[in-house]
Amino acid sequence: MSGFRSLTIPALLLVAALTACSVSTTPGGSTGNADQKTDGPVAIGFSQATQQSPFYVQLREGAEAAAKKAGGSLYFADAGGDVTKQNNDIQDLITRQVDVLLVNPVDPQGVQPGIAAAKAAGVPVVTVDRPVPEGAVAHVGRDNKAMGALVGKRLSEQLGAKGGKVIEIRGDAGGAVARDRSAGFHEAVAANPKIKIIEGPYSDYVRSKAVTAMQDLLQVHPDVAAVYAHNDDMALGALQVLKENGKDKVLVSGVDGLMEAVKQIPSGQYVATALNDPLSLGAKAVETVIKVQKGEKVEPSIDAGTELVDTDNAAQFAGDGEFAQAVTK
């Protein structure tokens, strides 16, 4: 899969130090008591849902860079999409005596045992990208419903009065991100009665799974007019299948601002995406974690912002990074 960077030396050292539970064996620097505020370096435990897409690789890199810049330590655990493993990872991070837990949940409900264990140990939890119903002192993310709506409105405009079938390739079952990106999109295209949405399978934000899904869907719906995927990596997988089958008139759209997708937009088939820069999101999450560790007040929900990228502005966002970043005005 494209979009993966080589890990930095600090990251490699962390990976090398991982145990069978995928947690660094280096101890943290505090007792893990949420009431104990220190001015020393923060020890952060980061439990991430997966590394199986460019977005999540970069989210980790952004968090690691921010923790290093702040002089803190970040102990990382990759759940590999397994919520049972994630709960075990969280327990292991707690035993490392981290100050604060940063959690990117596999499943918002399924991770509750881990969140409860952190609360019992007096370790505050901050979630990133994917929220949980309860137990976190703050969530750092973006308005995924707004992202879906931005892309949906643009795709609806492009399809026009003729409308047509739109295949939706979904993210993860039960996930808040997938739910919101779907809801925003559905609401945005509802004004066009000629658009019929075909809900495809959950492909877990992974390009290879989206390729398989699109191959099957194209057999059943050869008259498809457009594709909307819950992230650009899956949308690019769908685009690959469409091109292989000579479907160069079928429009494609996604979310996240993956640079590979942004650079496809000027050609016309890839209509739009929405910004969701993971490096800045990881940095914002760590910034919030440090505030929590210092006892500073933080908002319960922190929106990192988004923006539509389409043919009108794609050139402004094109660059060498893996994801498009907001243009400084």
Q: Indicate whether 97 pLDDT > 90.
A: yes
Place of tokens 């292989």: 244
How far apart, in whole angstroms, are the C-alpha atoms of residue 311 and residue 193? 25
- State the pLDDT at residue 17: 35
Percentage of residues of the chain with pLDDT beyond 90: 83
- State the pLDDT at residue 53: 85
How far apart, in whole angstroms, are the C-alpha atoms of residue 200 and residue 35? 47
Q: Find the distance separating the first CA and the last CA of the chain, reported in whole Å.
A: 33
How far apart, in whole angstroms, are the C-alpha atoms of residue 112 and residue 107? 9
- What are residue 13's phi and psi, to 5 degrees? -65, -40
Mean pLDDT over the full length of the chain: 89
How far apart, in whole angstroms, are the C-alpha atoms of residue 140 and residue 298? 10
- State the pLDDT at residue 125: 98
- State the pLDDT at residue 138: 98
Percentage of residues of the chain with pLDDT beyond 70: 87
Average pLDDT, integer, range 261-275: 97
Average pLDDT, integer, range 31-41: 48
Q: Using 50, 70 and 90 to split pLDDT, how confident is the model at 41?
A: confident
How far apart, in whole angstroms, are the C-alpha atoms of residue 259 and residue 64? 21
Torsion of CA 113, 114, 115, 116, to 10 degrees: 50
- What angle is formed at CA 186 by the lines to CA 185 and CA 189, rounded to 5 degrees? 85
Sheet holding 308-309, edge to edge: 195-202, 164-170, 226-229, 251-253, 270-274, 308-309
Average pLDDT, integer, range 14-36: 35
Q: Using 50, 70 and 90 to split pLDDT, how confident is the model at 171?
A: very high
71: left (phi over 0), alpha (psi -120 to 50) or beta: left
**Residues contacting 107, CB < 8 A, separation 6+:** 83, 174, 175
- State the pLDDT at residue 37: 46
- Does the predicted model carry a pTM greater than 0.85? no
